[in-house]
Amino acid sequence: MLLALHNAVTWALVGLIWTIQVVHYPLFDAADRDGFIAFHERHARRITLLVGLLMPVEALFAVWLAFTRPSIVTWTGVALVALIWLATALLAVPRHAELAEGWNEAAHRRLVRTNWIRTLAWTARGALALVLLV
């Protein structure tokens, strides 16, 4: 049961990050420049509702699995969660802070480019979650 919940949370985040990476972030540059601050504020508030719940739950599952089923797979999962959190704190959050002040093409480019780190790390976590489930 807990492995199924772990998979559900992880794959919800995998789907979310791919949607953000290929659909939502690229569309930032199509937002009205005069209304960009309000657009970005709404984005941040709404996305935080999802990731603010799912990311901590995923992290707890990853640590729980590493301690209850220690293996290269579970500890790699923990390392990937750490990478995702670090990339969020050190790369995504500062870019969003820049964009919160208004449209900034360079910050947008860096956000899209560096978000691939989280996208690929979450995809790898999804694969590991499936391995643990099977």
Give me the half-sphere count of Cα atoms (radius 13 Å) on the Cβ side of residue 94. 9
Write down the pLDDT at residue 35. Answer: 94
* Span 6-57, pLDDT tens digits: 999 999 999 999 999 999 999 999 999 999 999 999 999 999 999 999 999 9
- What are residue 59's phi and psi, to 5 degrees? -60, -45
In terms of pLDDT, which residue wins out, 2 or 119?
A: 119
Neighbours of 77 (CB within 10 A): 27
* Span 69-81, pLDDT tens digits: 999 999 999 999 9
Residue position matching structure tokens 């790369």: 91
Which region, left, alpha or beta, applies to residue 102 given φ > 0 means left and ψ of -120 to 50 means alpha? left
Distance CA 82, CA 51 (A): 15
At residue 1, does pLDDT exceed 90? no
Write down the pLDDT at residue 99. Answer: 97
Domain ranges of the chain: 2-133
> How far out from the chain centre does Cα 20 lie?
9
Residue 11 burial (10 A CB sphere; 0-12, 13-18, 19+): middle
